Amino acid sequence: MIAFYLPQFHPIPENDGWWGRGFTEWTNVCQAKPLFRGHYQPRLPADMGFYDLRVPETRAAQAELVQEYGIEGFCYWHYWFQGRRLLWRPFNDVLQSGQPDFPFCLAWANESWSRRWLGEEKDVLVAQTYSDHDDIQHIQWLLQAFADRRHITVNGRPLFLIYRPRHLPDPQRTTDIFRTECVKAGLPEPFLVGIDAHCQNFDCRSIGFDGTLSFEPQLGILPGAFRPDSSSSDGATLSKLLRNLRLGIFSNRLKIYDDKEARDLMFRRKPDFPYYPSIFVGWDNTPRRRENAIVVINGTPDRFAERLSAMIRVAADRPFEDRLVFINAWNEWAEGNYLEPDLKWGHGYLEAVRKAARVPLVPPCNGR
């Protein structure tokens, strides 16, 4: 089991310029306000507080905590723009220091950064562009991570994920370059997995990848979440009013969904070819989108454990070295999508992971 890991919890010069001095993901999290009665906002961290990922003790504490509950690796989001990297400090420190001694892999978030928070290419801050030269430069940088003994492998091949595989102008060309450069450097070919977040149920093997990650949440499945011609469906509608009334909320604008119904919709639309499963912990991006947020309510650790068990059963059909289950996410606080302890659930969602995987609780070190 591998948890996606967001490195946004430290200031960088770019965010200072775009959003204000000292901006981190905590800035959004703390400013969130409830949109309806009983709405769980703001969401506040428990064990580690409002941490800074430049601090090595924080990264060590995170790794120690997840290991206690059966999570076996972090998948760090990796931001690469024609040789320019953003939010690079936490993973660089992990790579250079050798600590924490905990398995990892990388997922290239290959989309433009904009002033929106849903991957829309409007008001672009940093554009994602491509070239053969950049592919070579990119894989040459990645070699140092692939060569690290902590790097997660599939059948001896370093695992690497790409968020928007069909955004690549020539995916087969890019994957060929990555494999060729690895072999030239004396490393095994990378095991390349395309994420279907924006191309649901597309078999990425057809464009040069080794497999497909079936990503959650697939927000586009939720009725009324997005207009067909846009990534937004903000505004008042009768359908919103009727759906929200069923949930006990009087609003014709808010986009609110029940956790069980949302998970049922996503699980029923899984691919009919071999895939790597993923599961979202929860969803509420009020900190980023305010009254235009998509909010999934009524989620509980027990319901999450039940669905995670189903994902594990999917993975169990694959050969042992190929059994990957991804959890989205470890720390996406501004999306209400995190395993980290908070003031409401404590370690509830971590306990759910252990329950689903039937992992015995590891006694804390040094008597703590």
- What confidence tens digit (pLDDT) does each residue in 32-45 have? 999 999 999 999 99
Tell me: pLDDT of 238 over 80.
yes
User: Given this model, what pLDDT does residue 230 score?
Assistant: 47
Res 366: pLDDT? 41
Q: Which residues of 56-93 are buried (b: 16+ CB within 10 A; e: fewer)?
A: eebbeebbebbbbbbbbbbbbbbbbeeeeebbbbbbee
Q: How far is residue 42's CA from residue 21's CA, in Å, rounded to a whole number?
A: 22
Domain that holds residue 29: 2-367
Name residue 2's beta-bridge partners. Answer: 73, 326
Q: For residue 281, give the CATH number of its domain.
A: 3.20.20.80
* Residue 117: per-residue pLDDT: 59
E-only strand ranges, 99-190: 104-108, 113-114, 124-126, 153-154, 157-162
The burial of 239, by beta-carbon neighbours within 10 Å (0-12 exposed, 13-18 middle, 19 or more buried), is given as exposed
Number of domains in the chain: 1
Q: What is the mean pLDDT of residues 248-263?
A: 97
Mean pLDDT confidence for 275-298 = 97
> If we measure between CA atoms, which residue out of 221, 209, 220, 182 comes closest to residue 276?
209
pTM above 0.85, yes or no: yes
Tens digits of per-residue pLDDT, 145-204? 999 999 999 999 999 999 999 999 999 999 999 999 999 999 999 999 999 999 999 999
**Amino acid in the structure at residue 279:** I
User: Given pLDDT bands bounded at 50, 70 and 90, which one contains residue 318?
Assistant: confident
Could you tell me the two tokens for 342? Answer: 């908070």
